[in-house]
Amino acid sequence: MDHAEFRRMGKEMVDYIADYMEGIETRPVFPSVKPGYLREMIPDSAPQDPESWENVQADIERVIMPGVTFWHSPHFHACFPTGNSYPALLGDMLSGAIGCVGFSWAASPACTELETVVLDWLGKMLQLPECFLSGTSGEGGGVIQGTASEATLVALLAARSKAVQKFKSDRPEMSDHDIMGKLVIYTSDQAHSSVERAAMLGAVRCRKLQTDEDLALRGAVLQAAVQEDRAQGLLPFFVVATLGTTPSCAFDSLQELGPVCREEVMWLHVDAAYAGSAFICPEYRPLLDGVEFADSFNFNPHKWMRVNFDCSAMWIRNRADIVDAFNLDPLYLKHDNQGLVTDYRHWQIPLGRRFRSLKLWFVLRMFGVKGLQEHIRKQVGLAKEFETLVRSDERFEVTAKVVLGLVCFRLKGSNDVNELLLKKINDGKKIYLVPSQMRGAYFLRFAVCAATTASQDVSYAWEIISQLAGDVLQGENS
Ligand code: PLP
């Protein structure tokens, strides 16, 4: 493909994408394909001779689209949103074209420097304490990880390395191996599975602590667990608090957990994967109060801030904690400015990294803070509309406080009846929802996801749900 061909085909691709986005609501939100569908549709091995763009292009609709779950359809209400926007796509296009692998400052200075500055912008939008920003006298800074799971793992590994050093100097008689066997982390019974997984990968114990009636982890519960574990000879060192839990968007009490972490010398990591975007609105910023106690904080602009996957923003109070934990300097990676500049390879698990800050920069500039706040407020408003509809129907109950863009609800009655309702909803493929469970009660989650979701889509979803509820209840009574 030469430059002229790329111009032509690239423009066709842009047109295809714009058509796709414009008509996305006409596609069934969840695919009907069976596992293994795709292997039968394409040859067993790669072609020996080049194929034409026209052939490749034709296979997008034939092979790919039938197997796509349309996360950006206004009828998609599963999980949490995943971001998307034209400014982000433009940024990603450029990132692909520049195609640098920004593991060190020298590997592409713009890649490192834009990331550092844009994460300061974002940190200021969230009113993070100054110590987390790079361009201040603090020791902290921001980095873009691929996912919230990676951010938790990186924080855990950094905290583990710091803890091992500390416990070794406190108790010289203990070997690294002895210490490792006694390390323990804490999180709530509502935390995302990635926290437990990080503990598995980090080879440390994980205790999932019980939450209160609002599904929040409280300070006294953490304190009691730490005391109990210390009495058993264990070594508590790391806590993950969640702001906006996956099952129900509940908020742990940072203001209570923070002082316990300080007192007990435990690293506090805050996972606000979904909810974090909302903190750019002054009315939701109080939900972040207590972040001043955190050692690391993370949220996903790729969830709710119009940036397409992947872009997970992480800030560290003391960058040396992370850089020192993962620092190796082979000769082939050395450069003249080493030690004077940020080399992001020390802040993450892989060596290579994409120029992800470009898409974030484009989004922040082309929406502006006000545009992004408007997006959040609109989506919270739509969730409230849905909540009102649920509450107006006495067959249903709302099962958790609606704080942001997620409504948890169920038919009053058995888990079986709710499971059947969800099955009927999703079998119809007109809208798509996923369930969750809380203290034994199965419920449905309605998340406002696509940026184009409007009031009429909420009413449309509710019509389907309430009609199917009638069918399910009728079946039960007959
Ligand atoms: N933490 C929370 C609270 C989440 O809701 C999710 C996903 O929805 C994750 C972590 C995992 O996110 P990621 O896919 O970025 O690892």
Range of the domain at 138: 100-354
Cβ atoms within 10 Å of 220's Cβ, excluding its own: 11
Q: Which residues contact 407 (CB under 8 A, 6 or more apart)?
A: 383, 386, 387, 390, 398, 445, 446, 447
| Alpha-carbon span 408 to 247, nearest angstrom | 8
The atom number, within ligand 1, closest to the CA of 272 reads 3
Strand partners, 104: none
Give exposure, 243-272, as e/b (b: 16+ Cβ within 10 Å).
bbbbbbbbbbbbebbbebbeebebbbbbbb
* Average pLDDT of every residue of the chain: 95
CA-based angle 156:160:166, to the nearest 5? 145
Cβ(151) – ligand 1 distance below 6 Å: no
Q: What is the pLDDT confidence band of residue 227, given thresholds at 50, 70 and 90?
A: very high
Please state, as a whole number, how many other Cβ atoms lie within 10 Å of the Cβ of residue 240: 29
- Distance (Å, rounded) from C-alpha 279 to C-alpha 287? 7
- Domain membership of residue 64 (yes or no) is no
Q: Is the C-beta atom of 271 inside 6 A of ligand 1?
A: yes
CATH at 289 = 3.40.640.10
447 falls within a domain: no
User: Is the minimum distance from the CB of 300 to ligand 1 under 6 angstroms?
Assistant: yes
Residue 329 domain-assigned?
yes
Q: CB of 269 closer than 6 A to ligand 1? A: no
Q: Into how many domains does the chain fold?
A: 1
Residue 475 binned pLDDT confidence (cut-offs 50, 70, 90)? confident
Pick the atom of ligand 1 nearest to 242's CA. 3
In a domain, 110, yes or no: yes
Q: Which residues pair with 207 in a beta bridge?
A: 186
Q: Is the CB of 186 under 6 A from ligand 1?
A: no
- Predicted TM-score (pTM) of the model is 0.95
Q: What pLDDT score was predicted for residue 104?
A: 87
Does 316 reside within a domain?
Answer: yes
Tokens of 428: 């119809």
pLDDT score of 335: 87
Q: With a 6 A CB cut-off, is 242 part of the ligand 1 pocket? A: yes
Atom 5 of ligand 1: nearest residue by CA position: 246
Please write the tens of the pLDDT for every residue from 155-167: 999 999 999 999 9
Given the CA of residue 150, which atom of ligand 1 is nearest to it?
16
| Most ligand 1 atoms within 8 A of CB, residue of 211, 270, 300, 304 to mutate | 300
Please tell me if the CB atom of residue 145 comes closer than 6 angstroms to any atom of ligand 1. Answer: no
Residue 315 lies in a domain: yes
pLDDT tens digits, 360-407: 999 999 999 999 999 999 999 999 999 999 999 999 999 999 999 999
